[in-house]
Structure formats: structure tokens, C-alpha cells
Structure 1
Amino acid sequence: MRRSLPHRTGPARAVDYGDRVKIALMDSGIGLLPAAAAVRRLRPDADLVLSSDPDGMPWGPRTPDDVTERALTVARAAVAHAPDALIIACNTASVHALPALRAELEPAIPVIGTVPAIKPASAGGGPVAIWATPATTGSPYQRALIRDFADSVAVTEVPCPGLADAVQWADEDAIDRAVAAAAALTPRDVRAVVLGCTHYELVAERIRAAVGRSVPLHGSADAVAAQALRRLGELPAPDAAPSSRLTVLLSGRDEVLPAQAAHYAEGRLLRTVSSAH
């Protein structure tokens, strides 16, 4: 019998879930693929629920209240499939909706947010660049993370207009233009680049080529996948027999993975899992 571990700010009691492992992930779009693939690598036996909002994306330009409302709707669609944990695989939703999601769902369902990997990127010293959406760049949220975790290093905030949308629609030319524009704003002496939007991890190799292959890129997918297992009191089991169950929800509708997912390695990995509703 597994027991989830409460969030450190939540009630100090555990919840019994039985023997199954089902993890839900939510995002405005296919930005949830890197974290879902990371879960799949750590626990190939986990059932997955992928809930996104193609009807309402992009979330970045929306007001905080609107983001919270849409995030709650997407989360509720996922929760209807009885997951053991919910990963908010979206920086924008984590910024604006994490408190509301935790208030509604915990302690019954652990909620794991996504935070830009500023702390580990800064650990080796600067300079550091943070690639993020225009809405996140310069935001009080990001500035607070810089102050808390990178106060002693030089940090350049790099807005990446259009990159998330280009990745969402697998628009090769638009991806190249957006990556090139962001690379031009990135100081040549940076020692690390933080990928501050989950969509960006899908084109990490293109970003690496643009900023220099010797520059480490720091995403959040592996960390949030590992945190989800910790919250459930589970250990990684990469050799476990794969689960054949994948539920895909697009604005609440039972669907299959969007065609654009096949353009990315993470999406192709998940396509090996059969659709199940």
C-alpha cells in the first residue's frame, strides 16, 4: 500500500492510494511532453493522463485569473480519471494557479508545480541566461527566483516571443527564427541557459546549437517527474514492464496525441503507449 507525502505547506497527513500508479500532467498544450516522457523513463509502468487546453491556448497572454480558471478546468478533467498525482507541466500555470490547484486537490491528490531551474543553473557560477515567454520575462515571480537563487551571479533574462507557439504547431521555420532571435540576445559568455518554458525543452538541441554546444541547458522535466514519485513515496523503476494505458484529454475531450507530438522525440516515445479511456 503506497502512501503519498504531503506538500510541506499542506496538511501533515498521508493518503493511501493502493497499488496502482497513475500520474496526470497538465499544460496549455504539448509542453507537457518532456515531463511525461521523463515520468515514462523513470516509471514505464505508470499509467499516464495528459490533459491540455488547445481551445484556450496560449495561456501566456491571459490574465492571472483567467489562467487560474482555465488551469482548474484542465486539472478537473484530469482528476476525473483518478490519478495518484498531478504535475503542472507549465510554468505559466505554476506561477498563477498553483495555490488554487493545491487548495482544491490536496491532500487527496499531490500537485507538483514546475519552477525554472535557476538554482542548479546558477550553482556553477554565472553568467546565466533565462529563456522564457515575454509574459514571464521580467515578472515579479521570475525576479524573485533570481533574487533567491542567483543573487550572486550575472543573469540575463531573454524573452522568446513566438517560440512556444512555434513549438506547439511544429512550425520549423518559426522555431528557427525564434531561436535565432533569442540566441542573439544571449550573451556569448553565458555558462548556463535556463529553459523557462516547458515547450522549449522539446527543441533543446536547436537551442544548444544556437548558443553553443558546450553551454549546459537546464530544464525542469526530470526534476518534476522525480518529485512526483517522491510525493507518492515511489522509487524509480526504469526496468519495469511498460504500461499500455495513456489517456489524452484535449480541452476535456478524450482524444489521441496531437499530430504535432510526433515531430518531437518525447512525443514519439509516448506514442508507443496505447490510447486508453
Structure 2
Amino acid sequence: MKIALMDSGIGLLSAAAAVRRLRPDADLVLSSDPDGMPWGPRTTEDLTERALDVARAAAAHHPDALIVACNTATVHALDTLRAELEPDIPVIGTVPAIKPAAAGGGPVAIWATPATTGSPYQRGLIRDFAGGVAVTEVPCPGLADGVQEADEAAIDRAVAAAAERTPRDVTAVVLGCTHYELVAERIRAAVQQPDLPPMVLHGSAGAVAAQALRRIGVGPAPDAEPSEALTVLLSGRESTLPATALRYVEGRMLAVASPAR
């Protein structure tokens, strides 16, 4: 079994680690686009072309499924990717976990990139899944870039600024960018109020990993014999995990479980 994941950068690490926890026996293909990132400021047409190139590089390794581990690419390019790759390769998109967050009753904050915050796509998800719940959209300029570069000072600044824009009474925060899941505990610490119940963070990594397994008709097997196959593609070139990936628990877990090649 082989699962491919794609993103502009290292945001795919969270979903890759989730796949590894559910199916340690799965071979992994990680396809990203350091030459073209960030994708957020690009036009839809340009972003879609970049995403197609990254997806094609992954597809050349004949995965059983492809996870689009990027909210921005899912919004703008998912239909195009599916039109090209399915039914041969199931393509699984990443949607912000607004529905489960709203199920808790709110209030809810959605941390997302400036391009996604206030977008018709996100507003549609709020309308469809969070009716009657107080929702605050919180733009997080610089956070994804800081995470990508493992720039501690930039991450601290971006998290602090977003926390200032987050109402103190929120009970849940939706992590609306896959990069944010890599610093989830730092976000929790910044938003948690000492006099309120524990904050609930809602990411998408576990859900997309589980959906990928469902799409190929297999279930979790967390005790399976670990695979040693990890293919890393950087703008189509075979490489190793970037040094910045190893600054995060998820990246180190993949490196230890699967020697990069």
C-alpha cells in the first residue's frame, strides 16, 4: 500500500504522520513545491498548474491514493486534480474542521491564512455547518511562512497577533491551514484562558488520513510492521526531508520510522 501526499511545503507532515500512525506499513510519497511556494498569493490558474505538477510527480510513483494536504489547493484545484487522476488514483481534499468544532456549541474561532479568511469558500462552510454558533474568522498573516521556515520568532509573533484577535471566550479553534497543526500546542498555549475549560483544537490531519484509507478500502492497523519506504519529491526532484521538517515532531517521526531516500 502506498499513500501520496501533496502540499506547497511542509504542511503535509501532519497528515503524513497521521497516516503513519494509522498504517505504519504504508509506503509514503511526499510531494511539495519549494520552488513555487507560497501558493496562497497566486492566481487560481497559476496555483492549479503548480498543484497539477506536484500531483503528477506523486502520481508517477503509482500511489493507491493522493491526499491534497493543503487547504488552499483543495479550494482552488481539487476538481481539476480529480478530473485528471481519478478513478485510477482517489484524491482526498482537506477541509477545515468547522463542522465538528461547531458541534460543540461554540463560540468558535477559525485561524486561517489571510487569503482564506473571509473567502466565499470559508463563509460557505460556516453557513452550512456552523449555523447558530458564534464564529470568528481570524487571519494569521505570516504564520504559515514562519512554520515553513521553522522561524521561532516569526511563529511567536504571528501566533501572538492572532491570539489577540481571538475572543477570549472561544471554546474551540479550527486550524484552517495544515501548517498550523505543526504548532498546535503553541497555539493552544496562546489562546487558552486560565479561568476557562481546556481549549479544543480541531485540525484535519486525522480525518483526511482516515478518509484516504476508506477510499482504498482498508482499515487502520496501527500495529502493522512499519514500512521503510519514504519518497520525498521537492518540485518533482527526488530528495530527502528538508532540514526544517526535522524541527517538528511529525517530521522526526517520519524520518525515524522511514529513512528518507
- Shorter-chain TM-score bucket reads over 0.9
Superposed CA deviations along residues 4-55 of structure 1, whole A, max 9, x for unmatched, are xxxxxxxxxxxxxxxxx00000000000000000000000000000000000
Aligned position for 2:218? 234
Aligned position for 2:133? 153
Name the CA distance, whole Å, in 1 between partners of 2:57 and 2:39: 17
Whichever residue aligns with residue 89 of structure 1, its letter is A
Question: In the alignment, is residue 137 of structure 1 matched against residue 111 of structure 2?
Answer: no
Name the CA distance, whole Å, in 2 between partners of 1:263 and 1:208: 19
Whichever residue aligns with residue 180 of structure 2, its letter is Y
Aligned position for 1:255? 239
How large is the Cα RMSD of the aligned pairs? 0.7
C-alpha deviation, 1:275, in angstroms: 2.5
Aligned position for 1:94? 74
C-alpha deviation, 1:151, in angstroms: 1.4
Which residue of 169, 175, 187 maps to 1:195?
175
Work out the number of aligned pairs and report it: 256
Q: TM-score, length-normalised on structure 2?
A: 0.97
Aligned position for 1:275? 260
Which residue of 54, 63, 68 maps to 1:74?
54
Whichever residue aligns with residue 152 of structure 1, its letter is G
Name the CA distance, whole Å, in 1 between partners of 2:66 and 2:12: 12
Aligned position for 1:243? 227
Name the CA distance, whole Å, in 2 between partners of 1:212 and 1:100: 39
Return 5+ residue gaps in structure 2 as ranges.
none
For 1:42-61, list aligned pairs within 5 A: 42-61=22-41
State the percentage of identical aligned residues: 81
Secondary structure of 2:133's counterpart equals coil
Superposed CA deviations along residues 43-84 of structure 1, whole A, max 9, x for unmatched, are 000000000000000001111111111000000000000000
Name the CA distance, whole Å, in 2 between partners of 1:75 and 1:40: 20
Q: TM-score, length-normalised on structure 1?
A: 0.92
Return 5+ residue gaps in structure 1 as ranges.
1-20
Superposed CA deviations along residues 183-210 of structure 1, whole A, max 9, x for unmatched, are 0000000010000000000000100000
Name the CA distance, whole Å, in 1 between partners of 2:27 and 2:102: 34
